Amino acid sequence: MKHNKLWGAVAISGVLALALAGCASGSGNTGGGNDGGETVETKTADYNPQPRDNVQDGGEVHFEIQEVPEQLNAFNSDASADTARLWYYFMPQILLVTPEGEVSKNDAYLDAYEIGEVDGNTTITFTFTDKAHFNDGTDMDWTAIDATWKANRSYDEGFNPNATDGYKQIASVEQGDTAKTAVVTFDGIYAWPSMAFLTGGVLNPKHADAETFNNAYIGNLNSEWGAGPYVVDEFDANSGFVSFTPNPEWWGNAPKLDKVTFQALEDDAAINAFRNGEIDQVEANSEDRLKQVSDVDGAVVRRAQQTAKTVLMVDADKPQFEDINVRKAFFLGVDIDQQKQIAWKGLGYEEPVAGSLNMYSFQDGYVDAFGEAGLKYDQEEAKKLLDDAGWKVGDDGIREKDGEKFTVTYPIFSNTPVQEALAKSLQAQQKEIGIDVQIDVRSTNDFSDDFNTKNWDIFSLRFTDSDPFGPAWMSQLYGSDSGLNLSGTGSAEIDEKLASDVESQTDAESWTAAAMKLEPEIIEETWGVIPLYSGPSIYVVQDGLANLTPEPYVGLDLFGVTPVEDLGWEK
């Protein structure tokens, strides 16, 4: 994913996380879509919350995953939402979040979590419990907070963090009265202190050097550096299989399950696996998928608001898209309403326009920034912009310039009918304005690597938020060093505006207003990525599975981050 943390498709350090683009995923207790066009209720959260006393001891739960990413450090810029899902089962969850976004300490790790102010500087005090330690025996103390800060505060020290927001504003991390207490001091008043150390937890101090941070988790989960209710049992990157079992070093509430497994599956294989009882939950994010699994014995449909946006990105480093007016023309040629109709056919779902990368329409302070910047479906204006840029229509209807056809590659990482229809719809829309979009169907296993290496001209994916602090992560979306937005449209000037106009604000309300004022200006200067829609999060799960999606970036509990040890089967 990176920003908002509520809302961010990749970012593990507290903001967004990257995930495959798809039609809206979702679910609902009373069933899925219909053929009559009626709206089906989509709850804010629908994850079957249950107190621990209602959850039985023992049993196994088996999940699908899109891929086992190569980079398995959730703080790293090359990580994805799947990285975060695995990370949370064996790494510390020192802070928890309600579905609505209220942050609190996890009592298993922290005796105290206090936000204050000293001499005009925001402070956070963390006091770890006496028993808190990493699996390798390293005590969990102020040095873990210090190591996490140093690894995430800058791109200039050799580290490759997912996002520096919330860390770069910190002036110091110091030991408190004892080694178990860390005192974090920001440089001045910081509007979003709760987002620091929220999504990724804390790192073992052995990550304090850049080489370890950047490379030690490539193809390796390093369970011995973790600290949580589960420990890695089996790990097979080649087959895409990871399992977790109870951690003998764990000091908190015992995990309810004997085993949790994740298996990388292509879309069709995941449907078959659920029907065959091999997995206990599957995304049902289209009418076709919902129909295939909603009649499975014991299946329950769960439908919640998705804190993610499906986005469309172009690569300005490619010669076809070097000209900003050409990029704008491409986006003006996208019929977003048609994309929504295809994605949500039969799901009975509607939503307002997704007009910001910073916020959702249901959040206070939201502005349709892309609408203000001029985003609309306008083929005639798109054609004029392309004409003015020197791209002339050829005999075959495809534009040419300097002897080169306007042909671009658009990879998709799914073979489902809906994904194929979405891609072909975009292809047809662009052909109308003279752009030849070549669809390239690839394996889900290639998603992260292809995105990060920019093996594409056009790319669609989901930006998924892990928390509700959207504007706080604006640099992750639009900064020149962003590992999330690889459109190549950032600049030093935009970085300066982000710092001076937005990050200088000292309260959340002012910061949000400044962010929403600046976002249309940035769009007009970049035209590198647009949001298409959010959608519902629909899953079909086995009845009785409780406290679902405890990890961030999944989708049934809105912004929730809950204890993974409480996941299990109702008594």
At 414 the pLDDT is 83
Taking the alpha carbons of 203, 206, 209, 211 in that order, is the dihedral positive or negative?
A: negative
At 165 the pLDDT is 87
> Which residues, 6 or more positions from 387, have their beta carbon under 8 angstroms from its beta carbon?
none
At 267 the pLDDT is 85
At 180 the pLDDT is 98
User: How are strands ordered across the β-sheet holding 241-246?
Assistant: 230-236, 241-246, 259-264, 60-65, 281-283, 536-542, 299-305
The Cα–Cα gap between 353 and 369 comes to: 10
Give domain 310-343+376-460+487-533's CATH architecture.
Roll (3.10)
pLDDT in tens, 214-268: 999 999 999 999 999 999 999 999 999 999 999 999 999 999 999 999 999 988 8
Beta bridge partners of 522: none
pTM, entire model: 0.83
The Cα–Cα gap between 169 and 186 comes to: 6
Residue type, 40: V
At 21 the pLDDT is 53
Where are the chain's structural domains? 310-343+376-460+487-533
At 465 the pLDDT is 84
- Backbone φ and ψ for 144, nearest 5 degrees, come out as -70, -40
At 158 the pLDDT is 95
Residue 487 burial (CB count, 10 A): 21
pLDDT in tens, 435-444: 999 999 998 8
Both tokens of residue 157?
A: 């020290």
At 12 the pLDDT is 28
The parts of the chain modelled with pLDDT lower than 70 are 1-38
> Which residues, 6 or more positions from 270, have their beta carbon under 8 angstroms from its beta carbon?
64, 279, 282, 283
Cite the beta strand spans of 194-307 per DSSP E.
230-236, 241-246, 259-264, 281-283, 299-305
> Which residues, 6 or more positions from 433, have their beta carbon under 8 angstroms from its beta carbon?
329, 333, 379, 382, 383, 386
At 508 the pLDDT is 94
- Backbone φ and ψ for 532, nearest 5 degrees, come out as -100, -50
Beta bridge partners of 112: 127
Q: Which of 102, 360, 104, 84 is nearest to 199 (CA)?
A: 84
Q: Which of 128, 141, 132, 149 is nearest to 193 (CA)?
A: 149
Contact by Cβ (8 Å): 79, 10 = yes
At 252 the pLDDT is 97
Cite the beta strand spans of 187-337 per DSSP E.
230-236, 241-246, 259-264, 281-283, 299-305, 308-314
Element (H, E) at 117: strand 110-118
pLDDT in tens, 415-438: 788 899 999 999 999 999 999 999
The Cα–Cα gap between 344 and 503 comes to: 37
By CB atoms closer than 10 A (0-12, 13-18, 19+), residue 298 is exposed
